[in-house]
């Protein structure tokens, strides 16, 4: 059967992916993202450069593919909010699963990931690109949520973008303070700054 075959392959594939990424992440943290070449990563993982690159597509993706589920999680959470809720409040709540995922144990893992991204311009830029890719779906969810359509698409776009920036600003402060203040509270604070 086609489905079974592709799915078993897919399972193996994502397991290998996970394993390769784990090793690479250690190297990046130890030596710095820019110092480690694809050849280094492939050699350490015991595969060829071709194979390594086939699993991720780009060097940045080795680190950033872990953020992929966050986009879907946010869209789903936004869809689940009650229709009457204000956009801004709904967007705040849509970040809950994102926060949960980033702060789940071991806490140092999420922190290390964000620290690596934060101190590597190339990773920052790519992460922002990734987030930009989530936006259309978030705007779409926001549009469907309120049939009343009081807001133009530009306004919805502005709210979604601002919400993402609140998250990013909160993350930056959270990392800078070594995770001390709760990320939840920081995101609340950032959201409060715009209402």
Partner DNA sequence: TCTCAGTTGGAACTGAGTGTCATAGTAGAC
Partner DNA sequence: GTCTACTATGACACTCAGTTCCAACTGAGA
Catalog residues that contact DNA under the rule CB under 7 A.
Answer: 1, 4-6, 8-9, 13, 16, 36-39, 46-51, 53-55, 57-60
Nearest to 68 by CA among 21, 9, 115: 21
Task: Please tell me the distance from the alpha carbon of residue 24 to that of residue 66, in angstroms, as a whole number.
Answer: 13
The one segment of 15-23, 25-33, 65-73, 160-168 that binds a copy of itself by CB under 8 A: 160-168
Task: Please tell me the distance from the alpha carbon of residue 52 to that of residue 94, in angstroms, as a whole number.
Answer: 34
Task: Name which of a copy of itself, DNA, none residue 109 binds, using a CB cut-off of 5 to 8 Å depending on partner kind.
Answer: none
Exposed, middle or buried: residue 193 (CB in 10 Å: 0-12, 13-18, 19+)? exposed
Task: Name which of DNA, a copy of itself, none residue 55 binds, using a CB cut-off of 5 to 8 Å depending on partner kind.
Answer: DNA
Q: Residues 61, 152, 178, 182: which binds a copy of itself (CB under 8 A)? A: 152
- CB 34 to DNA: min, Å: 8
Task: Name which of a copy of itself, DNA, none residue 165 binds, using a CB cut-off of 5 to 8 Å depending on partner kind.
Answer: a copy of itself
Nearer to a copy of itself, 45 or 167 (CB): 167
Q: How many other CB atoms are there within 10 angstroms of residue 33's CB atom? A: 21
- CB 102 to DNA: min, Å: 24
Residue 90 engages a copy of itself in binding (rule: CB under 8 A): no
**Both tokens of residue 143?**
């549009």
- CB 15 to DNA: min, Å: 10
Q: Residues 40, 96, 109, 165: which binds a copy of itself (CB under 8 A)? A: 165
Task: Name which of DNA, a copy of itself, none residue 54 binds, using a CB cut-off of 5 to 8 Å depending on partner kind.
Answer: DNA
- Write the CA distances from 152 to 23, 79, 141, 143, 166, integer angstroms: 46, 19, 14, 9, 21
CA geometry: angle at 78 spanning 142 and 15, to 5°? 125
* Residues at the interface with a copy of itself (CB under 8 A): 88, 121, 124-126, 128-129, 132, 151-159, 161-162, 164-166, 168-170, 172-173, 186, 189-195
């Amino acid at each position: 059967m086609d489905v079974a075959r592709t799915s078993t392959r897919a399972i193996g594939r994502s397991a290998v992916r996970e394993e390769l990424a784990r090793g690479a992440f250690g190297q990046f943290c130890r030596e710095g993202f820019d110092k480690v070449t694809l050849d280094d990563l492939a050699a350490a993982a015991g595969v060829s450069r071709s194979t390594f690159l086939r699993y991720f597509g780009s060097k940045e993706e080795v680190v950033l593919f872990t953020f992929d589920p966050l986009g879907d999680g946010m869209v789903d959470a936004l869809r689940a909010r009650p229709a009457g809720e204000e956009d801004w409040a709904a967007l705040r709540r849509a970040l809950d699963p994102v926060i949960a995922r980033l702060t789940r144990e071991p806490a140092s893992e999420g922190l290390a990931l964000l620290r690596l991204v934060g101190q590597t311009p190339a990773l920052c830029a790519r992460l922002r690109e990734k987030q930009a890719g989530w936006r259309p779906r978030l705007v779409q969810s926001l549009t469907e949520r309120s049939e009343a359509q009081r807001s133009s698409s530009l306004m919805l776009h502005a709210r979604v973008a601002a919400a993402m920036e609140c998250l990013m600003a909160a993350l930056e402060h959270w990392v800078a303070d070594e995770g001390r203040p709760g990320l939840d509270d920081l995101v609340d604070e950032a959201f409060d700054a715009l209402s």
